Amino acid sequence: MKIKQLFFLICLQCFTVLMAQDIKITHGPYLCNMTQDEVSVIWTTDKPALSWVELAPGDNQSFYATEHPRYYETIAGRRLSTSTFHCIKLKNLKPGTRYNYRIFSKEVRSWEGSGKVLYGNTVASNVFRKKPLSFSTFPCNYADTVSFVMFNDIHERYELFEKLCKNTGFNKTDFVVFNGDMSSYLVDEARLFHGYIDVAVKEFAKETPILFAKGNHENRGVYADKLCKYYPASEGRFYQLYKYGDVCVIVLDCGEDKPDSDIEYAGLANYDSYREEEARWLGQVLETKEFVDSRVRIVVCHIPFITGDWHGCLHLKKLFLPLLNSVKIDLMLSGHTHAYSFHPADAHCSFPTIVNDDETVLKCEIDSENIKIRIVDQDNRLVAEHFIKIISK
C-alpha cells in the first residue's frame, strides 16, 4: 500500500472515531436570574446541539415515573440547534415551589441539503444513579428566614473560591450573590468557566441560583461584551431588582472606576451615561409596588459609595445616594477595596455599608427582626459579625 493511501486510511479512521465520540456536557449547568416564576439554566457542550430541560415536581417520585414537559431555547418560535452554549429560560413556574429538572443535549451532526438535520447522540444529566437536580423558585410571601452568601473579588482564584465554598452550607442558602470582580479580565469562555464558574457549578450553582452584580473588572477584556450571555438578566443590563418573599435585593452595576477617557479603557468606556440611565431606572424602581411593599431592602453594588475618591465612586455617590437616602434602605453590600470595612449610617448616608474582603465569604441571614452578617475566611475563622436591626418603613 502506498504511503499516501495509508495516510488517507488513518485520517479516515481518526475522523470516524472522532465522529463516533459521544457528545459531552463541558460546563454547567448553573442557575441564574431566579425570580418568583422564572429561572435560567445554562450549560455548554463540546458539539452543537438541540437542547432542552425537562421539569418535574420536586418530590421524591422517580424521574422515570412519567413523561415531563420540555423547555427549549427558541427565537421567534424556532428551537436553537447550532450552538454549543445552551441557555434555557423556564417560565410560568409557581412561586416558592420546589422542582426537579434534567438537562438534555442532542448533537446536531450536520445539515444536509436545504434543511434536513442529521442528529447524533443525546447526553443528559444523570437521574439513574443520582438524584435529579432541583431548585426552588423564590417565594412571594414572607419567609421566616432568608439566607444568602456573597462572594466578591475572587479574580479567578478558583482554589481560594473553592476553599471559601467548603465553609458554606449551601443546603441552607436560598441564593448566592456574586458581587463583582469574580473575573479579572474576560478573554474567552474557557477562562470564564475555569476562573470560577466551574467551581460554582461543582459546589452549589446546579441547585442554588446566582444573583450576579458586575464589577469594574468584568468590563475589561475582548470577551467582556459576551458576559450578558452567561448572566442573561434583563436585556443585557446588569442592574436588577429581585424579590425573595418580602426581602428586596437591588443589584446595581457600578460601571468602571476611573473616568471613561482613561487610557486603560482603550476608548471603549461609556459608563457615565450608562450609570445615568441606571439612575433613571433606580428612581422608577423605588416607586414600584414591589419595592414599596418590601419589609427588608438590601442594595448590592461592587464599588461602595461611602468610601473612595475615584471617579466611578464619586459618580455613583452623586447619582445613587440621594435616591437611596430618600427611602428606607437596611443595608448596602460592596467589595472592590479588597479589605473589610464597616460604615454605619450617618448624616450623609442613611444606611450602613459593609465592604467584604477579597478573601472572605459574607453570610447573611434575615429573620423577622434582624439582618445577621457573618464574615468568614478560608480557614473558617470569623472575621466580623454584625446584627442590623430591621427598621420598619
Sites of contact with Fe ion (CB under 5 A) = 181, 215-216, 336
Name which of 181 and 357 has its Cβ closer to Fe ion.
181
Name which of 187 and 345 has its Cβ closer to Fe ion.
187
CB of 255 to Fe ion, least distance (A): 11
Name which of 215 and 304 has its Cβ closer to Fe ion.
215
CB of 218 to Fe ion, least distance (A): 9
CB of 246 to Fe ion, least distance (A): 31
CB of 257 to Fe ion, least distance (A): 7
CB of 200 to Fe ion, least distance (A): 19
Name which of 181 and 253 has its Cβ closer to Fe ion.
181
- Point out the residue whose Cβ comes nearest to Fe ion: 336
Name which of 297 and 336 has its Cβ closer to Fe ion.
336
Q: What is the 3-state secondary structure (H, E, C) of the chain?
A: CCHHHHHHHHHHHHHHHHHHCCCCEEEEEEEECCCCCCEEEEEEECCCEEEEEEEEECCCCCCCCCCCCEEECEECCEECCCCCEEEEEECCCCCCCEEEEEEEEEEEEEEECCCEEEEEEEEECCCCCCCCEEEECCCCCCCCCEEEEEECCCCCCHHHHHHHHHCCCHHHCCEEEEECCCCCCCCCHHHHHHHHHHHHHHHHHCCCCEEEECCHHHHCCCCHHHHHHHCCCECCECCEEEEECCEEEEECCCCCCCCCCCHHHCCCCCHHHHHHHHHHHHHHHCCCHHHHCCCEEEEECCCCCCCCCCHHHHHHHHHHHHHHHCCCCCEEEECCCCCCEEECCCCCCCCCEEECCCCEEEEEEECCCEEEEEEEECCCCEEEEEEEECCCC
CB of 6 to Fe ion, least distance (A): 57
Name which of 23 and 252 has its Cβ closer to Fe ion.
252
